[in-house]
């Protein structure tokens, strides 16, 4: 049986050297056997980090996903990365992925961000996204400056996507160099 394949999609404007991404890679490499992890793949928003578009970003993720066994594939989407993953799942053909872990995932933001306008305004097939994920979990901070009404966020994710919500009191929008809460969520969601 094939091992686990994880795909990581970052937040807006950063590459794989930012935030906790490199740290997570190191932590997961140390637990490869425990997780039965074959690989961790980084997929950036397209056509560029500072000008992401739905179509090219979804296509880039679909291309990587299509290269392996969906049932043994998990996606970790941080902020904008969660949006890209949800939209790709809404268009996916075939069986579901193992799970989608959203880190600071959003369906709307307290303050409109011009560069994310199409992601905020263009709907996607939420029922199809649910169908194509074995499980959707959103790790969310009660101190996220982008979504201060965390109880409303919880209700919306549960109602619209059937998501499991995991709340932590800090760390804002999960942009530190080390994020133990993210590591624990990855182990819980994708572990054996």
Query: What's residue 67's pLDDT?
Result: 66
Query: What's residue 148's pLDDT?
Result: 77
> Which among 14, 15, 127, 7 has a CA at the least distance from the CA of 77?
7
pLDDT 10s digits, 100-153: 999 999 998 887 788 899 999 999 999 999 999 999 999 999 888 887 787 888
- Please count the structural domains in the chain: 1
Q: What is the mean pLDDT of the chain?
A: 93
Query: What's residue 1's pLDDT?
Result: 56
Q: What is the rounded average pLDDT of the residues 75-80?
A: 98
Is 23 a residue whose pLDDT tops 90? yes
Distances (CA, A) of 1 to 54, 75, 105, 123: 33, 19, 31, 37
Query: What's residue 150's pLDDT?
Result: 79
Contact 109, 116 (CB under 8 A): yes
For the domain that residue 64 is a member of, what is the CATH number?
Answer: 3.40.50.1820
Other beta carbons less than 10 A from residue 6's beta carbon: 24
Please enumerate in sequence order all residues whose Cβ is within 8 A of that of 97, keeping only pairs 6 or more positions apart, or say none. 65, 70, 71, 73, 74, 75, 89, 132, 133, 134
Other beta carbons less than 10 A from residue 36's beta carbon: 15
Full domain range(s) for residue 35: 4-190
């Amino acid at each position: 049986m094939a091992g686990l394949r994880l795909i990581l999609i970052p937040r807006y404007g950063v590459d794989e050297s930012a935030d906790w991404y490199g740290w997570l890679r190191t932590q997961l490499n140390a637990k490869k056997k425990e997780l039965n992890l074959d690989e961790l793949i980084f997929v950036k928003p397209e056509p560029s980090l500072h000008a992401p578009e739905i179509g090219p970003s979804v296509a880039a993720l679909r291309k990587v996903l299509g290269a392996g066994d969906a049932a043994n594939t998990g996606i970790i989407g941080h902020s904008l990365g969660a949006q890209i993953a949800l939209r790709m799942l809404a268009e996916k053909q075939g069986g579901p992925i193992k799970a989608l872990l959203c880190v600071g995932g959003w369906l709307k933001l307290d303050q409109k961000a011009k560069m994310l306008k199409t992601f905020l305004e263009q709907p996607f097939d939420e029922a199809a996204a649910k169908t194509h994920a074995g499980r959707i979990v959103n790790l969310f901070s009660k101190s996220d400056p982008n979504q201060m009404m965390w109880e409303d966020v919880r209700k919306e994710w549960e109602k619209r996507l059937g998501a499991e919500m995991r709340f932590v009191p800090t760390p804002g929008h999960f942009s530190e160099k080390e994020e133990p809460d993210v590591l624990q969520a990855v182990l819980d969601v994708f572990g054996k």
